[in-house]
Amino acid sequence: MLLFTPGPTPTPEAIRVAMSVPTIHHRTPEFEEIFKVVKEKLIKLMDMPEVLMLSSSGTGAMEAAVTNLCKSHALTINAGKFGERFGKICKAFDIPYTELKYNWDTPAPVEDILNVIKNNPKIDTLCIQICESAGGLRHSVEDIAKAVKNLNKDIMIIADGITAVGVEKIDTTHIDALITGSQKAFMLPPGLAMIGLSQDAILKIESAPKGFYFNLASELKNQRKNTTAYTAATTLIIGLKAVLESIDDIGLDKFYADTKVRAQASNAALEALGLKIYPKTPALAMSTVYHERAKEIRAVAKKKYAVNIAGGQDDLKDKLFRINNMGLIPSYETAWALNAVELALDELDIRSYDGTANRVFVLRAFKGVQ
């Protein structure tokens, strides 16, 4: 079965092998050396002054960023499940927040955000997804962050990059907390979250340490010494070292370029089948299609053609399907996934099979045809 869900993504064999070593103790020079190498590579890849690794899924880093950086009032952007989650985190911690809500296919306009901030001087934090995975939507976070900082440089920008870091180069100039997790573009099993911090974020965190397990001041203190406040996710960090080394071998620019070609070729192939790409501004992380019979298409692709693609969530659970583009996916596997979709359309009498998806994808991804 090919795993084509936009998280978790498949772990390549070389990475699995790298993790199949005897467990080592986390408080040893041996592990601290591994930790240091990984941290330095992450700082470079994320382009942030400091990166912390946390033993949790991505949501843990979302919670940590909100509870450590928001001191008065948050503005959260809800254009899907994950944006909604920022609001739920605020609620759980009694942090006052204002939510801007959009359809799941619609990116947040800069002006809306600036208007809310102008009308509420208490807002000190903006929480937004770079890619909102619920609908495969790309928010223009870099432009939004720049405009917000222009208005008030003290507002902390928390960017959920769980399906954006490792997908494309992100301009972090105006971002204070950049969040990611192990099981999306980093191709690892779930359980490790990472959070890149700006100098301003570091100052804010250290001026008023907060929380216990997700106390980032205490993590900063420890991780600067290449250790963690509590037991590190040693096996995942060893795996991450192997992931980052394989990305280095390919070259980061090529890694991003390959993802982009695959994503654009997938979207073109799906559109050539007459399917509708759901988001108005598609992220590269996944190809997201709206179809009334999405649920049946997925079921046939899985049962008959051994391709596991994701559905939607909430109201769109049965109306969307999402095909992963993140990580080191061999393009011939994506070609088969798209073929499976076309075969499913045929089987469901939606469109007869003529090899269009494969032809369009292959010409773009392998032969550079635009």
Ligand X SMILES: *Cc1c(COP(=O)(O)O)cnc(C)c1O
For residue 344, what is the DSSP state?
H
What are the structure tokens assigned to 42, written together? 């992450």
CB of 59 to ligand X, least distance (A): 3
CA-based R_g, the chain, Å: 21
Least distance to ligand X, CB of residue 193, Å: 7
**Which one of residues 5, 57, 98, 106 is an interface residue with ligand X (CB under 6 A)?**
57
CB of 163: closest distance to ligand X in angstroms? Answer: 4
What track of x and - describes contact with ligand X for positions 237 through 256 (by CB under 6 A)?
--------------------
CB of 8 to ligand X, least distance (A): 9
3-class secondary structure per residue, 251-286? CHHHHHHHHHHHHHHHHHHHHHCCCEECCCCECCCE
- Per the DSSP assignment, residues forming a β-bridge with 179 are 160, 195
58 binds ligand X (CB under 6 A): yes
Q: Which stretch binds ligand X (CB under 6 A): 158-166, 230-238, 265-273, 305-313?
A: 158-166
Amino acid at the residue 311 = G
Rounded to a whole number of angstroms, the minimum distance from the CB of residue 10 to ligand X is 15
Q: Residue 109 or residue 190: which is nearer to ligand X going by CB?
A: 190
- Binds ligand X (CB under 6 A): choice among 11, 68, 125, 163: 163
Residue nearest to ligand X (CB): 58
Q: Which is nearer to ligand X, 114 or 190 (CB)?
A: 190
Secondary structure of residue 17 in the 3-state scheme = helix
Residue span 116-145 as binding mask against ligand X, x where in contact by CB under 6 A, dash where not: -------------x-x-x------------
Least distance between ligand X and beta carbon 183 (Å): 6
Tokens standing for residue 27: 């408080």
- At closest approach, how far in Å is the CB of 204 from ligand X? 22
Q: Which is nearer to ligand X, 130 or 360 (CB)?
A: 130
| Minimum distance, C-beta of residue 213 to ligand X, in the bound complex (Å) | 15
Q: Quick one: which of 218, 214, 222 has its CA closest to 32? A: 222
Nearer to ligand X, 160 or 342 (CB): 160
Q: Between residue 176 and residue 205, which ones bind ligand X under the rule CB under 6 A?
A: 181, 190
Which class for 363: exposed (0-12), middle (13-18), buried (19 or more C-beta within 10 A)? Answer: middle
**Binding status of residue 279 toward ligand X by CB under 6 A:** no
Pick the binder of ligand X from 50, 160, 176, 342 (CB under 6 A): 160
| C-alpha triplet 81, 83, 86: angle, nearest 5° | 110
The angle subtended at Cα 81 by Cα 64 and Cα 235, nearest 5°, is: 50
Q: Check binding of 79 to ligand X (CB under 6 A).
A: no
Q: What is the DSSP secondary structure assignment for residue 310, as one 8-state letter? A: B
- Which of 31, 35, 82, 104 forms a contact with ligand X (CB under 6 A)? 82
Q: Select 133 or 198, whichever has its Cβ closest to ligand X.
A: 133
Cβ-based neighbours of 189, under 8 Å, separated by 6 or more: 8, 11, 182, 183, 236, 239
Among 5, 59, 227, 308, binds ligand X (CB under 6 A): 59
Q: Which residues contact 69 (CB under 8 A, 6 or more apart)?
A: 125, 156, 158, 176, 177, 201, 204, 205
Count of residues interacting with ligand X (CB under 6 A): 13
With CA atoms as reference, report the closest residue to 35 among 223, 286, 203. 223
Spell out a b/e string for 41-67, using b for 16 or more CB atoms within 10 Å of the CB, else e: bbeebbbbebbbbbbbbbbbbbbbbbb
The span of 88-96, 155-163, 260-268, 294-302 binding ligand X (CB under 6 A) equals: 155-163
**Can you give the binding site for ligand X, defined by CB under 6 A?**
7, 57-59, 82, 129, 131, 133, 160, 162-163, 181, 190
